[in-house]
Structure 1
Amino acid sequence: MKRATQSDLLLVAVTLIAAVSWVFSKEAIALMPPLLFMGLRFLLAAAFLACLGYRQLLRLTSEHIVRSVQVGIVFGLAMLFWVLGLAHSDSMGEGAFLTSLGVLLVPIVARVFFSEPIPRSTWLALPVALVGMVLLSLAQGFSIQRGQVFYLIAALGLALFFTLNTRVATVSVRQARGNKAAAELSAVDPLALTVIALTAVGLVTLLASLLFENWRGTTLQWSPALLGWLVASAIIGTAARFWLQTFAQSLTTQTSGAVILILEPIWVALFAALWFAETLSALQLVGCVMIFLALLVNRWQVMRSIVTQRGI
């Protein structure tokens, strides 16, 4: 099997794991405070990956740690609003499509913070996405729900996370040219950096839980079901997902993964229908379809290059 094909299949598996993780999280936050859940989930995932990558962690420099923590804090804030959206929304499928807008917002965030040019495909995709969001608000009687706002803030946070993560890697590679110390920085195993980032996410959300949730004064029932959902979210939905995605993207330099990963909201909507019997109204369905079309338009150049490279 070609490495590119193997990478594509693994990334499809990543989108499925990510979608199943929504189910794990939804079940868990029904039994415990959402921010406490996220803190424990990411710290458990980081601890699990640290056991696998402890040798790589020992080779980290202070600069590695600082950069990873910075990215992890941004990621943690995004995940904070994501889980609040999950807790305050009646439609998990709708939330998945709203969160996926983070992919579309990446060029805009890069423009605002780093003066990078915005691709023409983004300008074409934005009106389509806006129509989708309007339709979703119309489905609620032309009102924006609190869960939708949380999801949109999470999408913006994820866009900033993706942008910073990419720039850190780019700066490392650029500095590595003619610079031995920077070369060592760029060669660090991504597993170690992932552990630091996930730890930062766990600490951010756990701190938010201590500040804003009253779980200390409530009776938290640590039932086998709750422990099962928490462990599944940490090991399968977080640790396994990030490790598998990193491994899959390391197999090839092709950009097809960027297209494959936008399948996640479709899987989430299907699992929500199968597991929670969720249904989307006609307006919600059309709104989600419009957002997905916007993601495809935004990735049109990538899709066309894939077709050209593979002679499809």
Structure 2
Amino acid sequence: MGYISQSIALETVDPSTVAFLGATTVLICPLLEKIIDGRDITFKNSPNIFVAAVLCLSGVGVLEGILEGGMVFEGGDFWAVMQAVGFGTSFFLTEKMMRKEPEMALSITAVQCGVCALSCAFWVLADGVDLGEVNLFKLFSEEGMRTTAAAVVFTGAVTTAMNRYVETTALGRMKSSEASVILATEPIWAAVFGSLWVSETFGLEDWVGGGLIVLACLANTLKPEQLQFFTQSEE
């Protein structure tokens, strides 16, 4: 769900915005800990999560045009948020698997990538593509398709397979909620590469909204005692 939602979102939404909205994984992982593990999440004992939620949702609001007098939440934006649900759930479940089988990172990654490949194959068939007509040699041999072929190989081998293996290994050593904060720096890299490679430009909403989401990620790293001011104010 994460990869498919991300792909659909990127058809109509800039990569930096997709990455910023994907950073809402910082909310998905704690939410799953509350719902599935029964973690006691209240403002008093986990103020960092609530502060992060407010900042994150504010950032999403700015990205969606609240500064211009009204939010415009389109289809591509919906799929960009759904990628966070997909990836956030993946982080949560992978952490649980790695806690039980800490030496199985490569095997877990292989199964995850295999399931993704199978799911995408069904998607291709459902889209009316005849697999018998798919010519990989043509993809790599035709001069006009070489850039696309290189992108496919890079994203498949590096940003999918290798990335999943590194994430899986990391999730065996840290909580999914903590890992999601580190991974939420993705928007910064998306903004950098978008600017360098596809000449993407940024307006006030992008900078303010993206900055709020990054602040949300940083707030989520704080310990509850570091936010005692807020809990004391509540009391």
Q: TM-score band (shorter)?
A: 0.7 to 0.9
Superposition deviation, residue 161 in structure 1: 1.5
Q: Which of these residues, 171, 184, 195, is aligned with residue 262 of structure 1?
A: 184
Structure 2: which amino acid aligns with 1:157? G
Which sections of structure 2, spanning at least 5 residues, go unmatched?
Answer: 140-144, 227-235
Fraction of identical pairs, as percent: 22
RMSD in angstroms over aligned alpha carbons? 2.9
Distance 2:52 2:108 in 1: 33
Q: 1:197 aligns with which of 84, 104, 112?
A: 112
1:265-284 equivalent positions in 2, closer than 5 A: 265-284=187-206
**TM-score, length-normalised on structure 2?**
0.77
Matched, 1:114 2:31: no
Bigger mean CA offset, 107-116 vs 198-207: 107-116
2:55 equivalent to 1:128: yes
CA-CA distance at 1:253 after TM superposition: 5.1
Q: 1:85 aligns with which of 2, 6, 9?
A: 9
- Greater helix percent: which structure? 1
2:221 equivalent to 1:299? yes
> Aligned equivalents of 1:237 and 1:225: distance in 2?
16
Question: Quick one: distance in 1 between partners of 2:33 and 2:124?
Answer: 30
Q: 1:146 is matched with which residue: 51, 75, 88?
A: 75
In 2: Cα distance, 1:215 partner to 1:275 partner? 30
Secondary structure of the equivalent of 1:114? coil
Counterpart for residue 207 of structure 1: 122
- Cα pair distance change 1:288/1:210, threshold 3 Å: same
| Long gaps (5+) in structure 1 | 1-76, 173-185, 305-312
The one-letter amino acid paired with 1:112 is I
Q: TM-score, normalised by structure 1?
A: 0.59
User: Which is further off, 151-160 or 105-114?
Assistant: 105-114
Number of aligned pairs?
209
- Matched residue type, 1:190: A
User: Are the equivalent residues in 1 in contact too, given 2:26–2:181 (CA < 8 A)?
Assistant: no
